[in-house]
Structure formats: C-alpha cells, structure tokens
C-alpha cells in the first residue's frame, strides 16, 4: 500500500514541475476520459514492499515506485517528450521543497514507448523509486 504522505508529496512535486511545461497531471484513477489535444501526465504509484526494519522495531519501511506517464501525440517527434520527461525527473532528483520526514527518492528508470502501440497517443514513462520510513505505534 502506498502511504498517503508519499502519494501526496509525489503528486504535488509532479504537478509543480509540469505546470511551467503546460502539462496537466492527472490521477490515473480519477482522470477525465476526454484526453483533449494537449500532452498530459498520468500519475500512479506502485508499492513494492512494506515491513518493519527489524524484529521489534517500531519503524516501518515502505518501498515502491512513482510512475509519471507523459502522453504525447503520435507524429510530434521524440525530442520534445524526452526534454519534458527530463524536467519531470529533475523534480525528484533535486527537490526544491522540503521532503516529508522519512521520505527518500532514489533511482529512476525511463520506459520507452512501445513500438506497437496503436492510436494517436504515445506513452513516455518515468519511474522514480522511493523509500518511506514511518513509525508504527503498537495498538493500545
């Protein structure tokens, strides 16, 4: 499960980086169904694991990925999409704002568009690995 702190920080960070590019960031589960004609970014998270750092520890560590899927129209060329994806990437490599306590953004991956995709839109994806450590208080 992705912690709400992780989801909100990453969504806000992606939105702030995308705004000067004229890109709208959409929650993949709440997006509008009409993509329009301008590029946009689908935002989603994938949690890989969550567990205590050790037996008896009250610190829980969650790991996972933030996914930003930059959607661009077919036929516009790759360089503009690559440049936009790079700017989105920097928002997670050089945080300009405070990170919530215990949240760390680590490695990144860049998923190229599939050659066999059909339709008018192509996906350029950025994956950001994260770690989030928080305190798990015992049930009372």
Q: What is the pLDDT of residue 57?
A: 75
State how far Cα 87 lies from the chain centre.
13
Closest CA to 127 of 20, 39, 1, 14: 14
**For the chain, which residues make up each domain, given as ranges?**
4-135
Exposure b/e, 92-130, CB count within 10 A at least 16 = b: beeeeeeeeebbebeeeeeeebeeeeeeeebebbbbbbb
What 8-state DSSP symbol labels residue 18?
A: H
In CATH, the number for domain 4-135 is: 3.30.2000.10
Give the β-pairing of 40-52 and 59-73. antiparallel
- pLDDT, residue 35, reads 61
Average pLDDT, the chain: 86
* Whether the model pTM is above 0.85: yes
Within 13 Å, how many C-alpha atoms sit on residue 36's CB side? 10
* Per-residue model confidence (pLDDT) at position 49: 78
Digit-coded pLDDT (tens) for 101-116: 899 999 999 988 877 7
Reported as a pLDDT band with limits 50, 70 and 90, residue 98 is confident
Distance CA 67, CA 115 (A): 20
Per residue in 43-95, pLDDT tens? 999 877 777 777 777 788 899 999 999 999 888 888 999 999 999 999 998 76
């Amino acid at each position: 499960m992705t912690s709400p702190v992780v989801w909100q920080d990453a969504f806000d960070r992606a939105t702030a980086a995308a705004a000067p590019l004229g890109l709208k960031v959409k929650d993949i589960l709440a997006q509008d169904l009409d993509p329009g004609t301008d590029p946009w970014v689908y935002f989603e998270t994938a949690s890989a694991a969550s567990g205590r750092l050790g037996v008896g520890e009250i610190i829980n560590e969650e790991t996972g990925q933030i996914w930003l899927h930059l959607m661009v129209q077919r036929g516009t060329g790759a360089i503009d999409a690559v440049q936009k994806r790079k700017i989105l990437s920097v928002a997670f490599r050089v945080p300009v704002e405070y990170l919530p306590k215990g949240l760390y953004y680590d490695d990144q991956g860049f998923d190229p568009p599939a050659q066999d995709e059909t339709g008018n839109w192509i996906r350029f994806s950025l994956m950001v690995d994260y770690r989030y450590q928080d305190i798990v208080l015992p049930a009372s």
